[in-house]
Amino acid sequence: MHITLTVNGKQREADVPSAATLVELLREHLGLVGTKVGCGHGECGACTVLLDGEPVNSCLVFAAQCDGREVTTIEGLRRNGALDRIQNAFVDAGAVQCGFCTPGMIMSAAALLASNPKPSRDEIEEAISGNLCRCTGYVKIVDAVELASAGTVSDRAGSD
């Protein structure tokens, strides 16, 4: 099946099997490996990306459903070589442990901040409730989102 979609601001085309998931398209066909494959059943949130600005578990979305739509991955948050404020906040707050959940967690947080620039701790906890982390206990993750919402984060260049 041939599809055309916008990924991280660039129009992309791919030929994928009809049963291919969005995470398979991103990782295997487009080489965007920042999106992690966790459970493959929509339970862990490791594969969270933004589809038309909304967080989705990319393991549950067929690639064909994305034809003509816009997808943003963790790689797409970087602008002009600099990490996004939420990415910097995760580093500043020490919210990155093993890093496996981090891309999905950051994408859920980015969606929250786009719709609610000054969320409460309860709103942050609700926004990331679909993302599982086995390392941090969530305190540092919530702290990172608060830090990003306050705008007091370091500026770092991202690696290409």
If residue 57 lies in a helix (H) or strand (E), which one and from where to where?
A: strand 54-57
Q: Which helix (H) or strand (E) holds 108?
A: helix 102-115
Range of the domain at 123: 85-150
Task: Give pTM, 2 decimals.
Answer: 0.93
**Do residues 11 and 30 share a domain?**
yes
Give the per-residue pLDDT at 158. Answer: 59
pLDDT for the residue numbered 134: 87
Model pLDDT, residue 155: 76
The parts of the chain modelled with pLDDT lower than 50 are none
- What does pLDDT average to over the chain? 94
The answer to the question of residue 110 being in a domain is yes
Q: Are residues 92 and 73 in the same domain?
A: no
